[in-house]
C-alpha cells in the first residue's frame, strides 16, 4: 500500500498532465467564435444570390469544422501515443477560417432577414 501523500502527489501530477494535454489539442469547431462581418458586404446580392451564398458558406464551414474535429481526434491519439499533439503541429491552423466563415454566414443571414423576409436559408 502506498502512502497517502504519494497517491495524492501522483494524482495531482496526472491531473496536471491531462490538463496540459487537453489544452494543447486543437480547439473544438463549436467553440470557435465568429469573426464580426458587416452585412453591408452582401448588400448588392439579390435574395436568390444570398440564398446561394448561405448554402456555400454552410458547406465551407461544415468542411472546415470536419477538418478541425479530425485534428482534435488526431491530437488526442498523438497525446496518447507520443505525448505531444502530433497532428496539429503538422497541419495548417484553420480556426481563423472557421471564425470568418461563421461571421460571413451570420452577416448573410442578417442581410437576408432584413431584405428577404419571406426567404429562408
Which pLDDT score, from 0 to 100, does residue 93 have? 79
**How long a stretch of residues is the chain?**
121
Q: pLDDT, tens digit, for every residue of 4-20?
A: 566 667 766 655 555 54
Q: pLDDT, tens digit, for every residue of 40-91?
A: 999 899 999 999 999 999 999 999 999 988 887 776 665 555 555 554 555 5
The C-alpha angle with vertex 17 and arms to 12 and 73, in degrees rounded to 5, equals 140
Residue showing cell 497532428 = 87
Domain ranges of the chain: 4-115
DSSP string covering 18-73, please? HHHHHHHSPPPGGGPPPPP--GGGGTTS-HHHHHHHHHHHHHHHHHHHHHHHHHHH
Q: Point out the least confidently predicted range of 27-41, 60-74, 102-116.
A: 60-74
DSSP 116: -
The pTM (predicted TM-score) of the whole model is 0.67
Amino acid at each position: 500500500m502506498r502512502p497517502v501523500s504519494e497517491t495524492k502527489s501522483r494524482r495531482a501530477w496526472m491531473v496536471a498532465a491531462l490538463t496540459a494535454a487537453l489544452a494543447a489539442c486543437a480547439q473544438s469547431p463549436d467553440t470557435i467564435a465568429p469573426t464580426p462581418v458587416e452585412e453591408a458586404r452582401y448588400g448588392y446580392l439579390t435574395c436568390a444570390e444570398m440564398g446561394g451564398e448561405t448554402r456555400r458558406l454552410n458547406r465551407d464551414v461544415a468542411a472546415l469544422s470536419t477538418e478541425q474535429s479530425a485534428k482534435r481526434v488526431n491530437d488526442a491519439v498523438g497525446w496518447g501515443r507520443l505525448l505531444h499533439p502530433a497532428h496539429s503541429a503538422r497541419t495548417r491552423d484553420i480556426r481563423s477560417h472557421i471564425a470568418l466563415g461563421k461571421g460571413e454566414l451570420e452577416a448573410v443571414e442578417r442581410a437576408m432577414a432584413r431584405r428577404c423576409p419571406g426567404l429562408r436559408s
